[in-house]
Amino acid sequence: MSPDSKKENIDPYELIRDGGILEYFVRAKRENLFEFFFEEFAGALYVLDVEKDTFVMVNQNFANLVGYTREELLSGEIKSLDLLADKENYKKRKNILSKKSQRIKLLGSEVYQMTFLTKQGEKIEVEITVKRKIINNRVLSFGQAKEISAFKTRFLQLEKEVELKDEYMRKVRDKRDSILRANMRLMQITERIIKTPEFSRHLEACVEDKELYENTVTFLASPLGMEFGLAAIYMFDKARDRLKIAACAGATEALPKIIELNTDNLLARLALKKTNKLYLTDGTIAVPLKRKQIIEGILVVQLYEIVAEMLNEETSLQRLMADIITNFANLIMFRKQNIELIQDLRKQSIIDQLTGIYNRRYFDEKLRDEFARAKRYNRELSLMIIDLDRFKEINDTYLHQQGDLLLQEFAAKIKAKTREVDFFCRVGGDEFAIILPETSLDNAVLKAEDLRLLIAETSFTNMKAANKPLYLTISVGVAAVSSGAKSFEELYRLADLALYDSKSAGRNVVNFR
């Protein structure tokens, strides 16, 4: 090793940055090792005076890299910063002086990537590996520069390719999510269309309006049904000046029980035909319940929030969902009309068309049921059979039209004096019966006597001479479970025998068995 190298205490191993350089040490002369290494090294090397920012040593490879001659670089006129395309950015990163001590910092090996500006004005990307060392009170920076322009260009290309790939994958994911959301939106619609026949069958089981309303909202809000967050039915009151909730299911806490039509409520606007249907962004759907274009109520449902958000992205599906709810409303009203028709038919089958009271068919069914109930629970039950005295003579004298009117007035008079729990029936031409639940024989006889006196004192309309009212009397037979009847047929026979006794006694009499 040369005396100068020994004096400056340079350790050449600290300068090695490439493992392949060791082969040079085999061929190098010991006393001229650094110079040999520096000149012959395949990389671009330099030694920089940090304080003066001037080059102390450069090899030919470094000079070739930056486009200057070695003499120009070593003249002291070219500073290291003159080689940088972005001087300000490098100054910010370069850590030479400590702000606190103002002394040179000797850091470990440092690696920088920066852009050199060659003498010819060309920009090249380089990677600098440096190590600072104090020699003879001078801070020297030993560095190696390696051009990485091609690498960085390729890196940037790869980075761009990655960005493009990420963008493509993002679009693929967005497309996939869009397809999934579209499928889910269609599924929400499809499921309700598929379940519509089941909904219709569900309504067919209802035989009363109340049952229809309650079963409807339960099915609409059920997870096993239509899966709405809530469902409610509003119906007009008799005065048609407000809507009252008839049934509701689900999260209906916020729903009003009564909606006044003189308010600006959206449902009120719908009921007043100021809008055809409602579809709100929160998933609330409301459609009218109509019969022959006359609105009788409102059907309200609300989608779950996540479903509402999906459908808000597609207005055509919103309209389709509203159409489905409209179809539900039509099914409800269709079933409501069928229930009313069935009730009318039922009423016609059990109501006497002339007098408006129950007929013989209903009498037989009810007497059998009430007799069985009285026997089962050991309750009182009485039966009263009434016959109009000499009614045939009235028909013969005043004709059947007068007889019909008299029967109507008689039935209305008796019905007004019976309890709601009693069953007043026409069992024959001029023969009537009253089933009296929870009534003893004694009380039934007293009731029969009251009715006999009432009819005897009543003046009936004379169609031929209004100023000459007609009068009639009745004969009554009474029997009770306590009379010893073992069947409803025997109870009827006992009451009929008591009636026969009244007729035999001269009519206008009450008898019992």
Residue 228 contacts residue 302 (beta carbons within 8 Å): yes
3-state secondary structure of 380: coil
Q: For residue 199, how many C-alpha atoms fall within 13 Å in the half-sphere facing its CB?
A: 26
d(CA 465, CA 387): 25
pTM: 0.54
Answer whether 43-147 and 195-350 agree in fold: yes
d(CA 422, CA 383): 10
State which of 22-26, 281-285, 408-412, 464-468 shows the largest mean pLDDT: 408-412
Residue ranges covered by each domain of the chain: 43-147, 195-350, 360-512
Residue 104 pLDDT exceeds 90: no
Q: Given pLDDT bands bounded at 50, 70 and 90, which one contains residue 94?
A: low
The model's pLDDT over 460-507, given as tens digits with 9 standing for 90+, comes to 999 988 889 999 999 999 999 998 899 999 999 999 999 999 999 999
Of the listed ranges 59-68, 134-143, 235-244, the least confidently predicted one is 134-143
Question: What pLDDT was estimated at residue 484?
Answer: 86
Question: What pLDDT was estimated at residue 182?
Answer: 62
Q: Given pLDDT bands bounded at 50, 70 and 90, which one contains residue 451?
A: very high
Question: What pLDDT was estimated at residue 10?
Answer: 43
Residue 369 pLDDT exceeds 80: yes
Question: What pLDDT was estimated at residue 3?
Answer: 43
Question: What pLDDT was estimated at residue 181?
Answer: 65
Question: What pLDDT was estimated at residue 313?
Answer: 74
Question: What pLDDT was estimated at residue 33?
Answer: 64
Residue 115 contacts residue 125 (beta carbons within 8 Å): yes
Question: What pLDDT was estimated at residue 334?
Answer: 93
DSSP code of residue 146: E
Residue 422 pLDDT exceeds 90: yes
Helices and strands, counts by H and E, the chain: 16, 16
Residue 89 pLDDT exceeds 70: no
d(CA 199, CA 248): 16
The model's pLDDT over 186-215, given as tens digits with 9 standing for 90+, comes to 677 777 788 888 888 889 889 899 999 999
Q: Under CATH, domain 43-147 is a member of which superfamily? A: PAS domain (3.30.450.20)
Of the listed ranges 20-29, 153-162, 163-172, 433-442, the least confidently predicted one is 20-29
3-state secondary structure of 512: strand
From residue 467, alpha-carbon distances to 111, 198, 394, 460, 461 in Å are: 131, 65, 17, 11, 9
Instruction: Write the DSSP string, 444-479.
Output: HHHHHHHHHHHHHT--B--SS-TTS-B---EEEEEE
| Fold classification of 360-512 (topology level) | Alpha-Beta Plaits (3.30.70)
Region 154-163: mean pLDDT is: 85
Residue 318 contacts residue 312 (beta carbons within 8 Å): yes
Residue 21 pLDDT exceeds 90: no
Supply 313's token pair. Answer: 């992205």
Region 436-463: mean pLDDT is: 95
Please tell me the class of the 195-350 domain. alpha beta
Question: What pLDDT was estimated at residue 195?
Answer: 82
Nearest to 45 by CA among 118, 129, 115: 129
